[in-house]
Amino acid sequence: MIGVDAMKMLLKRIGIDTRRESIAFLDDDDLTSRALGLHSMDRIEVSANGRRILAVLNIVEGSVVPLGTLGLSNVAFEKLGASAGTLVEVTPAEPPASVDALRLKIAGRELSALQLREIVDDIVRSRYSKVELTAFVVSATINGLSDKEILGLTNAMIESGDQLHFDSTIVADKHSIGGVPGNRTTPIVASIAAAAGLIIPKTSSRSVTSPAGTADTVEVLMNVELSPERIYDVVRREGGCLVWGGALNLAPADDMIIQVEHPLNIDSQGLMISSILAKKKAAGATHVVLDIPVGPGTKAQTAEKGERLKERFQQLGLRLGMNIRGLLTDGSQPIGNGIGPVLEAEDVIKVLRNDADAPQDLREKSLYLAGELFELTGKARGEGRALAEKKLSSGEAYEKFEKIRDLQGRRERPPPGSHTQDILAETNGCISKVDNSIITRIAQLAGAPHNPEAGVYIAKHVGDAADSGQLLLRIFSESEESLAFATRYWRENAHAGIEIT
């Protein structure tokens, strides 16, 4: 014992994935907790070799952690950077300094930029437990965030991590607020834009609630985990890149907030706006085309809500020094034919190669977004769509994509899952509805995105004729069990999944 405020213990790695939250484990019979006055869910500070971390204490029974030993979850062990068996110092940790500000937000008060910076600082430094982080997310959702708070939170999140800087007055970007499966326009738009000479360092996310995020899809074709130095090199040589933003330290507080929003299925408009603006600004963007899908299940379910969201993004973007153009698009059904990383990657390649069987809805939407990006950046005046068409039809966009692919580290696309189930039309008529949420759930049950080869191929879209016995969907999976789950879900929801009238 060193004193009443600290104890020395041996370090052990406990193979538990607690995502971003640092968790420590003590045996329930260990005297350390009694000597330091600790209880389960208390915060502790763990120090070794000049480094220290904050962790939430869990008390365990049995032989998981030997007496005199402190166990750490995977992420906590990696943060501390000490070897197993190292003697570490354990002390009780003080409550986060920003808890008073958090209480004010829970009570419905507007927070200042300084208070929000203190909250973000405590989040990034892992001073918040899941309970406190959840309290912040829920209070921001229920009580809302004013424009002033969104700006304060956005700036705090930008300052909490690294930032990319490019030697150009115009740095282009394109982003979709999500909600539509298969909406994989980003690789196509980025390739068209780079082929026309724009600087477009595209950082994208992995899936949170969808069968594939852009990074999941692109990763099927190339390495997406690049260091800032490699990003600068790829952009310098080809004008653009397609990388996973999570491999960088851009607005790290946002990633931690998202991990709480996901399991709670919380969708706070203020937090969403702040998240997107922070990631775009931190990535160096100056001009952003923002795809706002409108339809059932999207974040803007009506055109009126979409317009309000668009105006808010554009006004707040200007105050952050970014020129944002919000575009309301049709989010009533999936885009493209493939849902899931491998199937979506196939759609992207077909569009870029100008294949005859490329999904035309994905092609047209990509050209529209790229054309608007050209207009926004001044690359074209009234002929943005024509310039986008030229760069795609000529093969220049595909050539640019392939060069970026080689520089980042080419990967060959695997085939879709070997276990399949065809869903056939049971009547004649016209497709009047394809439900986004049901298609998404089928792809997830089949294994996507964890298994990149899993997913759904959509053979018919709204407006297409369908005869009895014709293919509507094909489900792909890498396991018979997952395929059975997905197929059973379809049978239980077929009446709502695709409507034929």
Instruction: Cite the active site residues.
Output: 267
Q: Which residues of 190-208 are buried (b: 16+ CB within 10 A; e: fewer)?
A: bbbbbbbebbbbbbbbbbe
DSSP state of 3: B
CB 38 within 8 A of CB 32: yes
Which residue, among 456, 477, 486, 496, has the nearest Cα to 211 in the 3D structure? 456
Closest CA to 243 of 257, 259, 230: 230
DSSP-assigned letters across all residues of 223-259: -----HHHHHHHHHHHSEEEEEGGGTTSSHHHHHHHH
3-state secondary structure (DSSP) of residue 81 = coil
Sheet order of strands, 455-458 included: 338-339, 455-458, 471-477, 419-424
Q: Which two tokens stand for residue 16?
A: 């538990």
Distance of alpha carbon 189 from alpha carbon 401, whole angstroms: 10
Question: Does residue 449 have a cis bond before it (omega within 30 degrees)?
Answer: yes
Burial per residue of 145-179, b for 16 or more beta-carbon CB atoms within 10 angstroms, e otherwise: beeebbbbbbbbbbbbbeebebeeebbbbbbbbbb
Sequence-separated (6 or more) residues with CB below 8 Å from residue 410: 221, 222
Report residue 91 as tokens. Answer: 């002390």
Question: How far does CA 41 lie from the centroid of its chain?
Answer: 29
| Other beta carbons less than 10 A from residue 422's beta carbon | 11
Q: Would you list the DSSP string of 449-485?
A: TTSTT-EEEE---TT-EE-TT-EEEEEEESSHHHHHH
Task: Give the residue from 301, 304, 345 showing the smallest Cα distance to 436.
Answer: 301
**In the numeric block, which tokens belong to residue 358?**
């490329």
